[in-house]
Amino acid sequence: MRAYHLAALLASLCLLASSPFALAQHETGSDVFSGEQAFKNYCANCHGAAGNQIANVDLGHGAFRKPYTDDELANIVMKGIPNTPMPATPNMSKEQATQIVAYLRSRASQKDVGAGGDAVRGQALFAGKGECAACHRINGKGSRLGPELSKIGLVRTSDQLAVSLLDPNSEVQPNNRFYSVTTQAGQQVSGRLLNHDAYTVQLLDTKEQLRSFNKADLQQEGFIPSPMPSLRGKFNDKELADLVQYLVSLRGADKK
């Protein structure tokens, strides 16, 4: 069992060099994860966080290829699908498999915000009505104030992207946080925090200029909310779907 376990781990590491969870999952290996956590740890490296990374398999939206019962699904989760790359997970308890199934079932009722969206129309919205390029750069075009989005489709699911667009402050990546300083002379400057240490602060200000301040010269400094405007009320569902579909299509390789 142990040997098999290690072989499976190595196989999944080779397939998926990018999985940050591959090691942690085997170190803990307990039953305490919720279904979602377990899915992230054991399954998302192949299936993707949204469950639709493998061609013709969609785990996240209640669109299984067959009308499996919960027991059948739990069996697939524990034993894999013979003669396919879908592996058994030998140390998976029935209880945990059941939690994962419950999690997948719960996601089925969530609609995919990007569904039916059109990436080409989304691109036009990005450049036009959304004014996104005022803060974001894609394939060398646009501003550096906000995060670069050329590969955003590789690191965020459509659900996560929709959250970023509707509730910009709800989940800010640590290196995307905005910072504001007020100098002793009363000048206020805000921008993306690039770096700070005990004595200095460096920002990329709203004109995309690199600014450096000595902390001793500041009256005030601190994180401020994201300047990214929410699309709530500005974009309808169709426009949101188009924009999300465009962002999902940004994977760094093509020149979109």
| Residues of the shown chain interacting with ligand HEC in the complex, contacts defined by CB under 6 A | 12, 15, 42-43, 45-47, 54, 57, 59, 64-66, 73, 76-77, 81, 84-87, 89, 100, 126, 130-132, 134-136, 145-147, 152, 156, 161, 164-165, 168, 172-173, 176, 178, 226-229, 231, 243, 247
Q: What angle do CA 251, 254, 256 make, to 5 degrees?
A: 90
* Structure tokens that stand for 116 in this block: 């039916």
Strand pairing category for 218-224 and 178-183: antiparallel
Nearest to 106 by CA among 51, 46, 24: 51
CB of residue 28 to ligand HEC, shortest distance in Å: 15
Judged by CB, which is closer to ligand HEC: 195, or 216?
A: 195
Nearer to ligand HEC, 108 or 172 (CB): 172
- Nearest residue (CB) to ligand HEC, 85 versus 90: 85
Residue 223 to residues 58, 148, 171, 180, 240, Cα–Cα distance (Å):
39, 20, 14, 6, 29
Tokens of 10: 């190595």
CB of 236 to ligand HEC, least distance (A): 13
Which residue, 186 or 222, is less far from ligand HEC as judged by CB?
222
Provide the minimum distance between the beta carbon of 159 and ligand HEC in the complex, in angstroms, as a whole number. Answer: 12
Burial of 103 (0-12, 13-18, 19+ CB in 10 A): buried
The span from the CA of 170 to the CA of 230, in Å, is: 11
Nearer of residues 59 and 119 to ligand HEC, judged by Cβ: 59
Cα torsion 91, 92, 94, 97 to 10°: value is: -170
Q: Pick between residue 131 and residue 208 the one whose CB is nearest to ligand HEC.
A: 131
Q: Least distance in Å: CB of 111 to ligand HEC?
A: 18
208: left (phi over 0), alpha (psi -120 to 50) or beta: left
Please state the closest distance from residue 50 (CB atom) to ligand HEC, in A: 13
Q: Closest CB to ligand HEC among 21 and 217?
A: 21
Please, what is the minimum distance in Å from the beta carbon of residue 2 to ligand HEC? 18
Give the nearest distance from C-beta 16 to ligand HEC in angstroms.
Answer: 7
Dist. CA 237–CA 52, nearest whole Å: 21
* Neighbour count for residue 90 (Cβ, 10 Å): 13
Q: Name the amino acid, one letter, at 101.
A: V
